Structure 1
Amino acid sequence: MRKTTLDKDLKKVGRLQAATAELSRQLAMPSLAGVFLLAVGVFATVGAAHGPLGVYLIFGALVAGYLALNIGANDVANNMGPAVGGKALSMVAALAIAAVCETAGAVLAGGDVVSTISKGIITPPAGMAATDFIKVMMAALFCAAVWINLATVLGAPVSTTHAIVGAVLGAAIAAVGPDVVAWPVIGEIVASWVISPLMGAVIAAAMLAFIKWAILFREDRVTAARRWVPFLMALMAGVFALYLLTKGLQRIWRPSDATTWVLTCLAFAAAWGGAVPWVRARSHGMENRRKDVSGLFVPPLIVAAGLLSFAHGANDVANAAGPLAAIAAAVESGATAQAQVALPMWILVIGALGISLGLALFGPRLIRTVGEQITKMDSMRAYCVALSAAVTVLTASAMGLPVSSTHIAVGGVFGVGLLREALTNRGLRRRAAASAPVPLRASETNLTPEDALRRLVKREKRRLVRRRHAWSIAAAWVVTVPASALLAGLLYLGLNLVIGR
């Protein structure tokens, strides 16, 4: 009796300790974020421009830091989610790799010149006062951050680029009117809601289908893997070399087209030459099982996740840093910023550190959503999603189509899941057709054999993709631009009431 009572008491103490640890962690996360924002405020205060507009730069830096935290919490999950879901990386390892690569991409390859009006969606009139322009940028920064924060809490991966574009759009309309907006650009953004996920899904599914037919559906999977895995690793090396040369390294090097293609081919050849002996050594004595063959995709998947994070840091740091750079330019000159302004290193550092810290503190939830809660992942499926992200961006850029990296990654996850589901249910139908007789329920005794078979397949049909996530994520995508625009427009009007013109 005493032992039983003691065991119960120990279990209660254990649960209390676990609850206390979880509560402490929940309290520590916003506290650390607050410390970061405090440091940003102090940093901006010391380095702020002198004069009556200097206070705007301080508040702008605080809001940009808040936006960077939310970009890290939401956007980076798309690169690391499949790798974590496929068990190629632990959550801690994924966070560490992403933090290092995001920071390196932002600081080393972040744009030295950025569009201060966020993708050219508005053109401020020549006579617009510097204070009005600054309020537009501040309202856009803050409301984009609020919307991304809300989406993260709800577990919905959204496009941070679309959030900042919508916020700039709404604040500009409130400040000047609808004539200031480049509406064709907005049309392209709306088109990307369909283009991005569909392209990501099709390319990822096509890659997975090739792997299945070339390797997994063969009688000797190990021999097939020795033939095709080196090619797939070389393909990934070539694609990512092209991706980084054209999208991720523009700040530090802009090679010619001929140089780009030569380096891409060299990366492909070098990877293939190194992968052949590596795969042969790893596959020596390997069992002819799917799980063992899938393990060959783990190293290239980890490299791909890191490279995607590097490219994301190089490109998307401008979502937080661009409007802040516009505010800094307007504060310094006392006039509306030009369409292109230099991006100071201190602003890049704020964006890079904010993205990395936001990922570490708040990113795990979205990583699990993308990597685990939509469909079951393994290293092969995650490899297909990662390669699809790079191929889709390159293909869309060549075709002049606007795409979102967030939408591509999520579309790729759905693509591999739906292909698995289709193949699984096709096999079910084939096995059911080969079996006789078809098991019937009491209500199905009057059915023809064909109808009975159809009922059986429908009854046993497997769902390998959670549809509810598809609808909630799609709704968040569609609402992002108008919601952030509405919030920013209202905030701009509120700032006018408080600060005045």
Structure 2
Amino acid sequence: MSAALLTLIVIVALALIFDFINGFHDTANAIATSVATRVLTPTQAITMSAVLNIVGALTGTAVAKTISRDIVSPEIAGNLTLVGAALVSAIVWNLFTWWRGIPSSSSHALVFSLVGAGVAAGGWGSIVPKGVVKTLQGLLFSPVLGFLVPIVLMFLLLWLVVRHLSPRTVTRVFRPLQIFSAAFMAFSHGGNDAQKTMGIITLALGAYLGTTLNTVPLWVILAAATAMGIGTATGGWRIIRTMGFKVVELRPIDGFVAELSAASIIETASRLGIPVSTTHVISSAIMGVGTTKGYKKVKWQVAGRIVSAWIFTIPTCMLLGWLCFKAATLF
């Protein structure tokens, strides 16, 4: 077995490990609200989320193509060490934030680890502005929309429906609707997040073959979808507690609005090939729903910790990616 083939196998294994970690790290995105409102038991929520993450991951490759072609230039994309360094960096950051119970972005950890490793390998000129700008636009606009859309939707529901019903009836009506919204959230999560791993493996395959692959191989899609599903099935209880119980007290109608809004935004981004953070979107949506109850109903100190993680993920992962690449080239 050649050294290049062995390196490729290691990178594919690392990518699937990242996908697995991404699954349990981001389980909270799809199920925290439905668990918090007791619409689903934890076991039911995780099982549903795992299955629909797999289904969602099979529905497109636009985000994967952005990761594989539009972040680092083709001239250095053939460097397998670069890809491996980016994966190690993203895995380290994901495990750290999971351990601390911080809902950070696995997506931006991977993208900006790739940027950091790319800079280490070829300087700033090796970075493709198109993909990075697209990612930054997603970073900026998706949380804003995630915050504003549920506010508008909640007020519409309150005006059109809720004011005519008793609180008990509202709960009875929105409990099954929240199951649908949680399912949609899990589906959209798989559709965006698993594609990052598909993109990284495709990038590594192209590097090994000495070309740029324009399509994602079927086995890559299936492998990434399965790893994401298995990771999701293991759960991520530290982050579930933060997302579901520590930001704002939720009712079924609140969970329905937050999940439906977030999933719609994520699904749109996936079709446009924009790698967004599902964590950013759903946590913003939960905060948006919370503000409709009154400013003081949201635990802004916890929200501040979440926002801090968003801010630190980009520079930290760029530095980690850079360091991992430099460390790898010493051996």
TM-score, with normalisation over the residues of structure 1? 0.61
The answer to whether structure 1 residue 485 and structure 2 residue 315 are counterparts is: no
Change (3 A) 1:370 1:153: same
The answer to whether structure 1 residue 410 and structure 2 residue 283 are counterparts is: yes
Deviations along 1:74-110, one digit per CA (max 9) or x if unpaired, are 223212112212221111100000111112232x425
**2:317 and 2:173 mapped to 1: Cα distance?**
43
Structure 2 partner of 1:297? 174
Counterpart contact for 1:112–1:344, Cα < 8 Å? no
2:216 to 342, 363, 385: 342
Mean alpha-carbon deviation: is it higher for 140-149 or for 298-307? 298-307
Identity %: 28
Describe the SS at the equivalent of 2:294. Answer: helix
Change (3 A) 1:311 1:401: closer
Structure 1 residue 474: deviation in Å? 0.6
Structure 2 partner of 1:55? 6
**2:108 and 2:67 mapped to 1: Cα distance?**
13
The answer to whether structure 1 residue 195 and structure 2 residue 68 are counterparts is: no
Structure 1 residue 324: deviation in Å? 1.8
1:76 to 22, 27, 31: 27
Structure 2 partner of 1:122? 72
2:298 to 454, 465, 472: 465
2:202 to 300, 312, 325: 325
Which amino acid in structure 2 is aligned with residue 376 of structure 1?
E
Q: For residues 129-278 of structure 1, what are the structure 2 equivalents within 5 Å?
A: 130=78, 133-183=79-129, 185-218=131-164, 221=165
Structure 2 partner of 1:311? 188
The answer to whether structure 1 residue 377 and structure 2 residue 250 are counterparts is: yes
Mean alpha-carbon deviation: is it higher for 295-304 or for 371-380? 295-304
Describe the SS at the equivalent of 2:161. Answer: helix
Describe the SS at the equivalent of 1:340. Answer: coil
TM-score, with normalisation over the residues of structure 2? 0.90
**1:110 and 1:395 mapped to 2: Cα distance?**
12
Counterpart contact for 2:20–2:232, Cα < 8 Å? yes
Counterpart contact for 1:175–1:492, Cα < 8 Å? yes
What's the C-alpha RMSD, in Å, of the aligned pairs? 2.6
Structure 1 partner of 2:228? 355
Structure 2 partner of 1:111? 61
Which amino acid in structure 2 is aligned with residue 340 of structure 1?
N
**1:326 and 1:400 mapped to 2: Cα distance?**
16
Change (3 A) 1:202 1:398: farther
Structure 2 partner of 1:386? 259
Change (3 A) 1:116 1:138: farther
**2:284 and 2:25 mapped to 1: Cα distance?**
16
**2:126 and 2:11 mapped to 1: Cα distance?**
23
**2:100 and 2:119 mapped to 1: Cα distance?**
28
Describe the SS at the equivalent of 1:497. Answer: coil
Describe the SS at the equivalent of 1:152. Answer: helix
The answer to whether structure 1 residue 365 and structure 2 residue 238 are counterparts is: yes
The answer to whether structure 1 residue 91 and structure 2 residue 37 are counterparts is: no
Counterpart contact for 2:52–2:186, Cα < 8 Å? yes
**2:274 and 2:53 mapped to 1: Cα distance?**
25
Mean alpha-carbon deviation: is it higher for 471-480 or for 61-70? 61-70
Deviations along 1:303-330, one digit per CA (max 9) or x if unpaired, are 2222322232233212123212222333
Structure 1 residue 167: deviation in Å? 0.8
Counterpart contact for 1:112–1:343, Cα < 8 Å? no
**2:184 and 2:77 mapped to 1: Cα distance?**
42
Counterpart contact for 1:105–1:310, Cα < 8 Å? yes
The higher relative CO (CA closer than 8 Å, separation ≥ 6) is in: 2
Mean alpha-carbon deviation: is it higher for 148-157 or for 347-356? 347-356
